[in-house]
Amino acid sequence: MAKTKKNVKKVMTITRERALKLFSYFNYKTAGKWSSKRMEGKLAKLPDSIDIKLVKNSKVEAILKEITNASSVKIASTDKTKSTEDKSVKEKIEKRTGKKAMKKTTKKKDKKSDKKKSRFTKKQKTKTTTKKTEKTPGVIMSVLEFIQNDGPISAKKILAKLVKRFPDRSSESMDRTIPRVPNHLKANFGIDKIRKNDKGNYYTKK
């Protein structure tokens, strides 16, 4: 009898600097203050709160898929060679999030750089308009939407709605995400209005 190989998920290792760039892309403003342990936990939950299909950056999409397929995430110390390679990626992420680059440029602007900037702003404008029309909420924001529209609602009914909206996602993973949503929204978005009644059903505080 031939032995069948089991698919064992590996631990994903990522540098703190690279993780910070990823959080910066999704506009997590307080990520720089997090400890490595907290950051590892946040990274593991990130794919559940983001719709990977809507991410336009191929490198960011690849990292999110790697996190999804990993058993856990570990923050490693920065390698000097990697940090130099990631400089261009950092600049792109800062431009996408509308933040100014940390390093001051003293070189004179030439016509070529001005043309590149005008092209980039045109592309950025078109991307933001398409995002507004096409974007659908991720798992966490969908949970908030269901509670606001149908609350009081049980976790079982929320899960059924999530499975219908995200058929390609793991129902077990989404089931684990539901009870974490109130704390996640409060910590990261300042939304503190989800409550549970005596029957264990979720509703929004008016």
Cis status of the peptide bond prior to 137, with omega within 30 of 0: no
Decide if 44 contacts 67 (C-beta within 8 A): yes
**DSSP-derived secondary structure letter, 153:** B
Q: Model confidence over 60-69: pLDDT tens digits?
A: 888 888 888 8
Decide if 176 contacts 128 (C-beta within 8 A): no
CA-atom Rg of the chain in angstroms? 20
pLDDT at 130 (0 to 100): 46
**DSSP-derived secondary structure letter, 178:** G
Q: Model confidence over 122-159: pLDDT tens digits?
A: 556 555 544 444 456 788 889 988 888 988 899 999 99
The pTM of the whole model exceeds 0.75: no
Does residue 84 surpass a pLDDT of 70?
A: no
Q: What is the dihedral of CA 139, 141, 144, 146, to 10 degrees?
A: -60
Decide if 155 contacts 202 (C-beta within 8 A): yes
pLDDT at 120 (0 to 100): 61
H or E, element range at 74: strand 72-76
Residue 88's pLDDT band (boundaries 50, 70, 90)? Answer: low
Q: How far is CA 201 from the centre of its chain?
A: 27
Does residue 80 surpass a pLDDT of 90?
A: no
CA distance 190 to 206: 15
Residue 85's pLDDT band (boundaries 50, 70, 90)? Answer: very low
pLDDT at 116 (0 to 100): 59
pLDDT at 162 (0 to 100): 92
Decide if 20 contacts 31 (C-beta within 8 A): yes
**CATH 1.10.10 in the chain, residue ranges:** 139-204
**159-180: average pLDDT:** 90
Does residue 74 surpass a pLDDT of 80?
A: yes
For domain 139-204, the question of CATH label 1.10.10 is answered with yes
On average, the pLDDT of the chain sits at 76
pLDDT at 115 (0 to 100): 59
pLDDT at 95 (0 to 100): 66
CA distance 41 to 62: 19
H or E, element range at 76: strand 72-76
